[in-house]
């Protein structure tokens, strides 16, 4: 997993942990270029993680970014 995904995952996790969903959406839209429907899925998946850490969030981000390329 790349250092970039881990950094982005930490930032996104911080926003979700502080219940700042609007900032999380803006972050994903502007920096990560995910469409809104994918953003909602990412936030939903992160909110259901049994143990939310940067690696788990980075895996989710990687999953959705790879899915978009198919």
Q: Which residues span the domain enclosing 59? A: 3-69
Cα angle 50-59-40, degrees, rounded to a multiple of 5: 75
* Domains held by the chain: number: 1
Distant-in-sequence, close-in-space partners of 21: CB < 8 Å, separation ≥ 6? 15, 43
Digit-coded pLDDT (tens) for 15-56: 888 888 888 887 777 766 778 888 889 889 988 999 888 888
- For the whole prediction, is pTM greater than 0.85? no
Digit-coded pLDDT (tens) for 4-26: 778 888 888 888 888 888 888 87
């Amino acid at each position: 997993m790349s250092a970039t995904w881990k950094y982005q995952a930490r930032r996104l996790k911080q926003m979700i942990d502080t219940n700042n969903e609007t900032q999380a959406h803006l972050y994903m839209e502007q920096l990560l270029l995910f469409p809104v429907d994918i953003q909602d899925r990412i936030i939903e998946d992160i909110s259901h993680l049994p143990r939310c850490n940067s690696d788990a969030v980075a895996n989710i981000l990687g999953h959705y970014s790879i899915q978009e390329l198919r």
